[in-house]
């Protein structure tokens, strides 16, 4: 891993926001999914959650993570209730994009709190079940004839408002807030793709890295890597 690569990945890890995420409910267009995952990465979101319309979209979800260079984890859930409960277990408030009588401007939400942004399917929107489980409906003010934005555009607006608030609160400064095992995985896979592939083929654990991101493995690990046996 070059010093420049190490510095870039380390900087990215220090800006990750583990208590900010997106929950996609049956988003079924691959280009929207890919755009949302890309925006999530851009603002420091490391994990996206989703329920799927069908198996094909579940596979597309995995490919979207790959398309974003494996920087974002896409977590699949069987049901909306299961997904929301998993996020509540992490102490997150659930913010739903929905035009309703009690909806507020999306900029009025405090995104410095642990937050999951719930986005619905392109045609039918968020399900009634999900809306009942959400904490707050939000709207993006519009003065034209259209009443809604493309789901990927809506997610970008809300995520960048969350980034603005968190940046003002100093939440993009300081040490990496990801779990040590997760940050090590990302750093190793991002900096040593060839050895990552070998580790997976040979079912070997990722070795330690030194302060410059170079592999600091035992002789036994190196011998196992060089072995022709899988």
140 is in an annotated binding site: yes
Whole-angstrom distance, CA of residue 124 vs CA of residue 162: 25
149 is in an annotated binding site: yes
- In eight-state DSSP terms, residue 176 is -
Whole-angstrom distance, CA of residue 205 vs CA of residue 199: 6
> Do the Cβ atoms of 22 and 160 come closer than 8 Å?
no
209 is in an annotated binding site: no
Who contacts 194 (Cβ-Cβ below 8 Å, separation ≥6)? none
Dihedral, 39, 159, 144, 129 alpha carbons, nearest 10: 100
Residue stretches of the annotated binding site: 97, 140, 149
Numbered residues of the known binding site for S-adenosyl-L-methionine:
97, 140, 149
């Amino acid at each position: 891993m070059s010093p420049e690569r190490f510095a870039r990945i380390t900087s990215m890890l220090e800006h990750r926001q583990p208590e900010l995420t997106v929950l996609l409910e049956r988003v079924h267009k691959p280009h929207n999914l890919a755009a949302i995952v890309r925006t999530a990465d851009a603002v420091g979101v490391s994990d996206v959650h989703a329920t799927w319309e069908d198996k094909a979209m579940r596979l597309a979800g995995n490919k979207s993570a790959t398309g974003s260079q494996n920087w974002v984890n896409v977590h699949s859930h069987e049901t909306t209730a299961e997904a929301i409960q998993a996020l509540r277990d992490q102490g997150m408030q659930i913010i739903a994009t929905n035009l309703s009588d009690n909806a507020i401007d999306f900029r009025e939400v405090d995104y410095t709190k642990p937050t999951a942004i719930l986005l619905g399917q392109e045609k039918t929107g968020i399900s009634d079940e999900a809306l009942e489980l959400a904490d707050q409906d939000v709207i993006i003010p519009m003065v034209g004839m259209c009443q809604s934005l493309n789901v990927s555009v809506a997610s970008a607006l809300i995520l960048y408002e969350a980034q603005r608030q968190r940046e003002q609160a100093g939440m993009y400064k300081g040490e990496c807030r990801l779990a040590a095992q997760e940050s090590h995985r990302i750093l190793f896979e991002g900096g040593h793709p060839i050895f990552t592939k070998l580790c997976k083929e040979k079912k070997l654990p990722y070795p330690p890295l030194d302060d410059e991101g170079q592999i600091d493995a035992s002789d036994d690990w190196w011998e196992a890597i060089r072995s022709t046996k899988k």
